[in-house]
Amino acid sequence: MSRFVVRRIVEILVVLAVMSLVIYALIGLMPGDPVDLMIASNPHLTVADAARLKALYGLDKPLLERYAAWLGAALHGDFGYSRLYARSTLAVLIPRLGNTALLMGMSFALTLALAWPLGLLAARRPGSWFDGVANLSSFATISVPSFWLALMLILVFAVQLGWLPPGGAATIGAGGVADRADHLVLPVITLTLVNFGPQLRYMRAAMMETLHQDYIRTARAKGAGEARILTRHALRNALIPLITVVALSFGSLFSGALVTETMFAYPGMGKLIYDAVLGNDYNLALAGLLFATLMTLLANFAADLAYAAADPRIAYR
């Protein structure tokens, strides 16, 4: 087990290193560079000044050399300075990480609490009216554009009914848990609905597969109760393929978070990356994307560990 953990951690570090280079190169494709922005904001700069500045910041060097310099600094915890927020990148990033983790965590827990039981019950009687309703609702939530769903929720609950705030994470000046919770309701609902459909379908498909197995018939023949068959025999086995697909869905959860946070002006990582890209804040966009990738990789790692716990036959070595 511990050797497996070490191997996976090494793998994560390798993937992270590769992705950091890819992301670094991508950021390099964004319009302009920091010196271009300085030139734009200061008409007195001469061509010689610009060249000197480019040399000073190392922008005249080839991509790999610049990447190596950035990586060296990043490994020492220095991700540079955020142009948009005029603070160190990490100081901007870390509070946002917490906000996003809160939004994604609550929504993910709620999604599974809703979708899994429904998927399980739908798989019991394929073709029944309950299965039909479950299927249709999962199709509907898969097909709805997340930003439009957010817009409609804002329209109904914030603009017309005035029950909930249309955006932000807290009312300025009024702190408190209840206020934060108010601001989380609509974003969490949006993100939950968007991920509900796929999770229901995963659970339904996995349960349909296991409910046809011989050991289910054996359990029935033994006289085991229906609830026990479903949870102890079928669900336990369905969890194994399920964890794999759930692990792969963390990336799309983050994509959903970017849309949700942008729509509700919720100060999380997704909105931060979007604002950084639009505002040509290279350091911030780079660090934001890297942390988003790291979060996804860690979530996958957690799923791997859950996999081992769910399937005792798998002995990681």
Q: By CB under 8 A, name the binding residues for another protein.
A: 15, 19, 23, 26-32, 126-127, 139-140, 142-149, 151-152, 154-155, 159, 247-248, 250-252, 254-256, 258-259, 262, 270, 273-274, 277-278, 285, 288-289, 292-293, 295-296, 300
Closer residue to another protein, CB minimum distance, 158 or 224: 158
Using the minimum distance from each CB to another protein, give the nearer residue, 50 or 144: 144
Q: How far is the CB of 262 from another protein (least distance, A)?
A: 7
DSSP label at 303?
H
Separation between Cα atoms, residue 307 and residue 301, nearest integer Å: 10
Tokens for 200, please give them.
Answer: 């229901």
* Smallest distance, another protein to C-beta of residue 225, A: 26
CB of 166 to another protein, least distance (A): 9
- Using alpha carbons only, how large is the chain's radius of gyration in Å? 24
Contact 50, 39 (CB under 8 A): yes
- Compute the least distance from the CB of residue 176 to another protein, in Å: 27
Distance in angstroms (rounded) separating the CA atoms of residues 25 and 100 = 26
The torsion angle over the Cα atoms of residues 310, 312, 316 and 317, rounded to 10 degrees, is: 170
Cβ at position 281, least distance to another protein in Å: 12
Q: Mutual orientation of helices 269-278 and 282-310 as an angle, nearest 10°? A: 150
Q: Return the number of the residue (19 or 229) whose C-beta is nearest another protein.
A: 19
Which lies closer to another protein via its Cβ, residue 125 or residue 232?
A: 125
Residue 222 CB, nearest approach to another protein (Å):
27
Q: Residue 224's closest CA among 240, 215, 117?
A: 215
User: With contact defined as beta carbons under 8 Å apart, do 308 and 111 qualify?
Assistant: no
Q: Can you tell me the distance from the alpha carbon of 157 to that of 299, in angstroms, rounded to the nearest whole number? A: 32
CB of 42 or CB of 252, closer to another protein: 252
Q: How far does CA 69 lie from the centroid of its chain? A: 29
Nearer of residues 165 and 288 to another protein, judged by Cβ = 288
Q: How far is the CB of 93 from another protein (least distance, A)?
A: 13
Q: Which is nearer to another protein, 95 or 126 (CB)?
A: 126
Give the number of residues written for the chain. Answer: 317
> In one letter, which amino acid is 211?
L
Residues facing 88 on adjacent strands: 81
